[in-house]
């Protein structure tokens, strides 16, 4: 199987995100049984495919099918920007063609990012437009996009997840510990003890593997959970700050605003469409 076998391209969801300081794409947030193309247009992020860690920056294309991507998160201080398409590639007999059948690897370093981005934009406009031509326009443009990716891919070798260095087992265990105990008051010293390492060496290894210091990762993870609490359960802010192991609401407020750029109340208003940045 390859790109030549694609007879149709159906877009189910298309999103453009600019300057995202929080970027988490988890398995339980995947779009049903569809495949996904994610084009990085700014910043850097790490993508975890079941233990294989891929680091992607501007101009990288991430390709994955249902359930393949386990989790992703931003690295560094530059906000993340990206385009993301959830789609089905349809064969002549009506079946779906997955990432592997299309001959696409998880990570492709695009050699002509402007051209690929322009094609993403054209699909976005077709997807947003109304009328009977929308589906056929998306299909034709989608097939051309896959052909362009295949052509670009042939111009140079791209990374495969098997070639990417897996996470160090101590750091992988530390990440699991954070995710299981995010409500506790975690600190670097406690994580280092769990990893049986000196805090200084642990911090150096963590930053080398993940891209950010452990304390920063902990705070970002807690704030991401806080956003879920606020959005899903409409929890009181003081309860949320206490539940997530912050010293007090003032501490929670400072960390929340530093990471998201908004105060907790501004975030709530933005979720409800009531926030005026002026």
- End-of-domain residue from the set 153, 185, 210: 153
Same domain, 21 and 146: yes
Q: What is the pLDDT of residue 30?
A: 44
Same domain, 178 and 137: no
Cα dihedral value 261, 266, 268, 273, nearest 10: -110
* Residue 226 within any structural domain of the chain: yes
Same domain, 40 and 91: yes
Structure tokens that stand for 25 in this block: 């794409």
- End-of-domain residue from the set 153, 182, 200: 153
Per-residue pLDDT at 164 exceeds 50: no
Same domain, 31 and 126: yes
- Cβ atoms of 48 and 39 closer than 8 Å: no
On whether the pTM is more than 0.85, the answer is: no
Q: What is the CATH number of the domain that holds 229?
A: 1.10.10.60
> Which residues is 72 bridged to in the sheet?
47
Structure tokens that stand for 96 in this block: 């779906």
Same domain, 248 and 122: no
pLDDT band per the 50, 70, 90 thresholds, residue 214: very high
Same domain, 227 and 258: yes
Helical H segments across the chain, by residue range: 113-128, 134-153, 169-180, 188-195, 199-210, 214-228, 237-243, 249-260, 264-271
End-to-end CA distance of the chain: 53
Q: What is the CATH number of the domain that holds 82?
A: 2.60.120.280
pLDDT above 90 as % of the chain: 14
Point out the least confidently predicted range of 128-142, 181-195, 203-217: 128-142
* Residue 159 within any structural domain of the chain: no
Which tens digit of pLDDT belongs to each residue from 226-255? 887 776 555 578 778 888 889 888 999 999
* Residue 278 within any structural domain of the chain: no
- Per the structure, how many domains does the chain have? 2
**Phi/psi of residue 166, nearest 5 degrees:** -65, 155
Same domain, 45 and 113: yes
Same domain, 103 and 203: no
Same domain, 147 and 23: yes
Q: Classify 14 as helix, strand or coil.
A: strand
Which tens digit of pLDDT belongs to each residue from 80-99? 899 999 998 888 888 888 88
Structure tokens that stand for 65 in this block: 């099918």
Which domain does 145 fall in, by range? 3-153
Same domain, 196 and 250: yes
* Residue 140 within any structural domain of the chain: yes
d(CA 103, CA 142): 16
């Amino acid at each position: 199987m390859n790109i030549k076998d694609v007879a149709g391209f159906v877009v189910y969801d298309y999103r453009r995100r600019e300057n995202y300081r929080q970027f988490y794409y988890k398995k339980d947030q995947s779009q049903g049984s569809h495949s996904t193309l994610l084009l990085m247009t700014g910043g850097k992020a790490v993508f975890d495919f079941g233990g294989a860690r891929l680091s992607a920056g501007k101009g990288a294309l991430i390709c994955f099918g249902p359930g393949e991507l386990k989790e992703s998160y931003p690295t560094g201080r530059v906000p993340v920007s990206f385009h993301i398409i959830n789609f089905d590639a349809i064969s002549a007999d009506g079946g779906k063609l997955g990432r592997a059948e299309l001959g696409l690897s998880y990570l492709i370093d695009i050699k002509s990012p402007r051209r690929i981005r322009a094609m993403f934009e054209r699909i976005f406009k077709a997807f947003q437009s109304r009328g009977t031509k929308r589906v056929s326009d998306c299909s034709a443009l989608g097939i051309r996009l896959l052909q362009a990716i295949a052509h670009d891919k042939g111009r140079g070798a791209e990374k495969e997840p098997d070639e990417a260095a897996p996470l160090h087992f101590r750091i992988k265990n530390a990440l699991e510990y954070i995710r299981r105990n995010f409500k506790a008051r975690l600190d670097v010293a406690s994580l280092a003890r769990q990893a049986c390492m000196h805090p200084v060496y642990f911090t150096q290894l963590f930053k080398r593997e993940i891209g950010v210091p452990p304390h920063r990762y902990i705070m970002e993870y807690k704030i991401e959970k806080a956003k879920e609490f606020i959005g899903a359960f409409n929890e009181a802010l003081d309860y949320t700050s206490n539940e997530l192991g912050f010293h007090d609401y003032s501490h929670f407020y400072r960390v929340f605003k530093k990471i998201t750029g908004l105060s907790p109340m501004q975030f709530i208003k933005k979720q409800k469409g009531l926030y005026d940045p002026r």
